[in-house]
Amino acid sequence: MSHTADALRAELISRIGHRDREGAVAMALEAVRTGTLAIPALYDLLADLLAEVGASWSRGETEVWQEHYATAVVRTIVEACQPLVTERAGEPNGLTVVLATPAEEYHDLGVRMLADRFVLAGWSAHLLGANVPLEELARAADALMADAVILSAYTHFHRTTLRHYVDALRETHPRLRVWVGGAAFAIEHDGWSEDEIVTPADVPTLHERMV
């Protein structure tokens, strides 16, 4: 992370700590509008910030409500970036992706940011959000004529569910590319092939895997 990004992250943490939601949002948007940070770089910064807050909670230094507050501020920043994402959408590549988390997985902020990265890379991206039943995901893929599906999980606990989703979709939709990602795969991904895992950094070149 650049010195500028480090400084912005520190200032955002300070503003969140002082409950200055409006100031945090304004600062993030200004950084993007002025070209100080590209949207993907801002999202990397926000993900790093949330990881830092989560680690602080794990150490007993941050209360649950404070972690939730930080997450809410970050979500507000991401939603406020939506007009800028639309303005800066990549040249359409003719591909459509549907993004969701599986049943009983309610952490969808990461996949929300990933949807914007797909738009910036020229995809048509449809975010279904959290806790999506398999049947509904399959229906959405059909209705939206998806070329790919991204499934995200925050904890290792949901990886069994993801495997069920991936295998079922591949059986019923053999031409659909199905990828997984999220914090559940950050440390290791035993039982999953490299081709099944997607990280935010992969998005700009994912269209090449569709060939």
Percent of the chain with pLDDT over 70: 99
pLDDT digits (tens, 9 = 90+) for 12-31: 999 998 999 999 999 999 99
Whether the per-residue pLDDT at 88 is higher than 80: the answer is yes
pLDDT digits (tens, 9 = 90+) for 37-66: 999 999 999 999 988 888 888 888 889 999
Return the amino acid letter for 38: A
Determine the distance from the C-alpha atom of residue 117 to the mean position of all C-alpha atoms in its chain, rounded to a whole number. Answer: 8
84 pLDDT tier (thresholds 50, 70, 90): very high
Q: What is the pLDDT of residue 45?
A: 95
The answer to whether the CB of 84 falls within 8 A of the CB of 32 is yes
Q: pTM of the prediction?
A: 0.94
Q: What is the pLDDT of residue 189?
A: 83
Going by C-alpha positions, the residue among 185, 147, 177, 151 that lies closest to residue 165 is 151
User: What are the residues facing 179 on neighbouring strands?
Assistant: 150
Return the amino acid letter for 85: V
The answer to whether the CB of 112 falls within 8 A of the CB of 124 is no
- Of 174 and 191, which is predicted with more confidence? 174
Q: Could you give the C-alpha distances from 85 to 29, 79, 117, in angstroms and in order?
A: 11, 10, 8
1 pLDDT tier (thresholds 50, 70, 90): low
Question: Where do the domains of the chain lie, and which CATH numbers do they carry?
Answer: 3-87 (1.10.1240.10), 96-210 (3.40.50.280)
pLDDT digits (tens, 9 = 90+) for 92-111: 999 999 999 999 999 999 99
